[in-house]
């Protein structure tokens, strides 16, 4: 993005963030379900689950809960983008001397900011429930980087949904499979406890590599190849989603 585009993006991002600040229930709602899942699994189901890792169950499951938090939050990006399209905001922006790309990037950066706040709320709740880690600053930065990449990848998928949807419900419905995906991964139980075909899927889908990487970083354990698999998935999905989103945007405004 050029300096002109960066300035336009900053202004439009400020506009979107002000909308969220005037309606903070968006972030609260996004964080409520993951916190409820934490409570359910840690205090109701966790005692019956043996992960075989020696970690407390809240430590084991937190990485998956963080991904669910983000997957829930990006639905609002598609929703806000759809409302802007239906309200004629895009047509008004096209008549103004602003960079066209800034409209989409503003929604992306707003999603990133809102989801990071939700993630912080969930981590705070996990700390109250007993989550502990000896991870140093470098590990926390690595975790933050992975979560940012995950948010950006899913947000560009949300942009595609927002640009393509015909109804408000359709704009956010795409997120349901993304929220469900961590449940068929190593997020809550080891994959070797699953039936053969389910275990194969769980081992070879992106969430497992991402969860295992974050879990190892928090536990100060060797990461192995998981981080490279996770980064390959995240960067690949991000690039593909970005390309499809830009193509959908150009078709929509042409």
Over residues 176-207, the pLDDT tens digits come to 888 889 999 988 888 888 888 999 999 999 99
Per-residue pLDDT band for 22 (boundaries 50, 70, 90) equals low
Exposed, middle or buried: residue 192 (CB in 10 Å: 0-12, 13-18, 19+)? exposed
CB neighbourhood size of 138 (10 A):
9
Comparison of pLDDT for 93 and 82, the residue scoring more: 82
How confident is the model at residue 1, as a pLDDT? 47
Query: How many structural domains are present in the chain?
Result: 1
Least Cα distance to 181 among 199, 155, 207, 163 occurs for 207
Structure tokens at 206: 């992106």
Q: Contact at 8 Å (CB) between 35 and 125?
A: yes
Q: Contact at 8 Å (CB) between 114 and 72?
A: no
Q: Domain containing 228: what range? A: 3-46+55-253
Structure tokens at 38: 């934490």
């Amino acid at each position: 993005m050029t300096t002109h585009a960066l300035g336009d993006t900053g202004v439009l991002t400020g506009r979107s963030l002000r909308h969220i600040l005037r309606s903070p229930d968006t972030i609260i709602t996004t964080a409520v379900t993951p916190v409820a899942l934490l409570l359910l699994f840690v205090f109701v189901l966790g005692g019956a689950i043996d992960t075989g890792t020696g970690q407390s169950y809240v430590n084991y499951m937190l990485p998956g809960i963080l991904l669910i938090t983000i997957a829930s939050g990006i639905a609002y990006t598609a929703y806000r983008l759809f409302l802007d399209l239906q309200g004629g905001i895009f047509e008004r922006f096209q008549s103004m001397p602003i960079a066209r790309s800034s409209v989409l990037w503003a929604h992306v950066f707003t999603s990133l900011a809102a989801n990071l706040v939700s993630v912080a709320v969930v981590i705070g709740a996990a700390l109250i429930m007993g989550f502990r880690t000896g991870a140093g600053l470098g590990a926390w930065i690595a975790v933050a980087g992975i979560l940012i990449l995950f948010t950006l990848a899913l947000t560009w998928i949300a942009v595609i949904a927002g640009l393509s949807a015909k109804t408000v419900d359709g704009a956010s419905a795409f997120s349901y499979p993304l929220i469900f995906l961590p449940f068929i991964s190593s997020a809550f139980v080891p994959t070797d406890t699953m039936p053969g075909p389910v275990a194969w899927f769980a081992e070879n889908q992106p969430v497992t590599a991402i969860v295992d990487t974050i879990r190892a970083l928090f536990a100060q354990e060797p990461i192995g190849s998981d981080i490279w698999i996770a980064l390959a998935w995240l960067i690949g999905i991000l690039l593909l989603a970005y390309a499809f989103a830009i193509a959908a945007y150009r078709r929509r405004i042409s």
